[in-house]
Amino acid sequence: MSLRLSTVILPYRRWHEGSRAAWVRAEELGFHTGYTYDHLSWRSFRDGPWFGAMPTLTAAAAVTDRMRLGTLVTSPNFRHPVTLAKELISLDDISGGRVTLGIGAGGTGFDATALGQEPWTPRERADRFAEFVPLLDRLLTEDAVSYEGDFYAAHEARNIPGCVQRPRLPFAVAATGPRGLRLAARHGQAWVTTGDPKLYENGTPEQSVHALRGQTERLADACAELGRDVTELDRILLTGFTPDRGRPLESLDAFVDFAGRHAELGFTEIVIHWPIPDSDFAADQKVFERIAMEAPAQLR
């Protein structure tokens, strides 16, 4: 299978001041999926403009026809499965069945405290995630759901007519730990990673490849425990968080080399950030577009 190339467009611009044009251009360039972050704000963008993921993707659905759309990633930090399910079913309908839900356990950033709560510990995040994903699965596949858990509840929640995609829209589960990888193996149609965060500052690209190989092997083990073939899952690498940082976007050759090394690990989709000037995601727009148009053919 050819390696898919996708992009993630951060929602930091007003729709009619650059955001709309980026989504339209992404489809023109042939990206497989256009993702956006599902945060209330994010890191260095916290004190600037930042827009909601679901309205942004709804607008993107209205100006595109072929490109898939998705989140990288949604988390329980400020989401509830019942309300999220309703939004996803609506978005899947508006887009004509083009939505993928990237979903993860969340972190300790702005999202973790914006609703006034104390940040959850890693154990608490894992516990909530383990309850969130199966409940969301049910909400997207059953007409009516009642559930009482440790963290979430649903009382005769109705989700008719369900997703356009059957039995539901695909989950791309972000995980590196054992519990998260088991969730990906059980409920995911794809698995997402950004690499090993401990290597970002001082690691090497070679160490990163080694760490990613270990993650893919643990995913295979989690699938084997459930009697599932790991090749049934797409494996997605969200770039920009490995020691390579922005170097793969410096030239077409650099990207093809980077993507080829990761395709050898079993990755089926590489996601690159739409260039943002004066940020960690700064890149030459012309080089970026050349990569989008020419790299896929070299990676078949």
CA distance 213 to 211: 5
Q: What does the pLDDT read at residue 1?
A: 58
Please name the residues in contact with 262: beta carbons below 8 A apart, sequence gap of 6 or more. Answer: 209, 212, 237, 270
| Average pLDDT across the chain, whole number | 97
Q: What does the pLDDT read at residue 37?
A: 98
CA distance 256 to 44: 29
| CB neighbourhood size of 284 (10 A) | 13
Q: Are the beta carbons of 112 and 77 closer than 8 angstroms?
A: yes
Average pLDDT value for residue range 247-275? 98
Residue-wise pLDDT tens digits, 230-258: 999 999 999 999 999 999 999 999 999 99
Residue-wise pLDDT tens digits, 108-151: 988 999 999 999 999 999 999 999 999 999 999 999 999 999 99
Q: What does the pLDDT read at residue 124?
A: 96
CA distance 15 to 22: 9
| For residue 300, pLDDT beyond 90 | no
Q: What does the pLDDT read at residue 183?
A: 98
Average pLDDT value for residue range 190-198? 97
- Which structural domains are found in the chain, ordered by start? 4-299 (3.20.20.30)
Residue written as tokens 């894992």? 126
Average pLDDT value for residue range 55-61? 98
* Short-list 212, 173, 210, CA closest to 189: 173
Average pLDDT value for residue range 192-198? 97
DSSP, collapsed to helix, strand or coil, labels residue 34 as strand
DSSP state for residue 276 in the 8-state scheme:
-
**Model pTM score:** 0.97
Which amino acid does the sequence have at 239? T
CA distance 90 to 106: 23
Distances (CA, A) of 194 to 112, 213, 246, 288: 20, 13, 13, 20
Q: What does the pLDDT read at residue 2?
A: 80
Largest distance between two CA atoms of the chain = 54
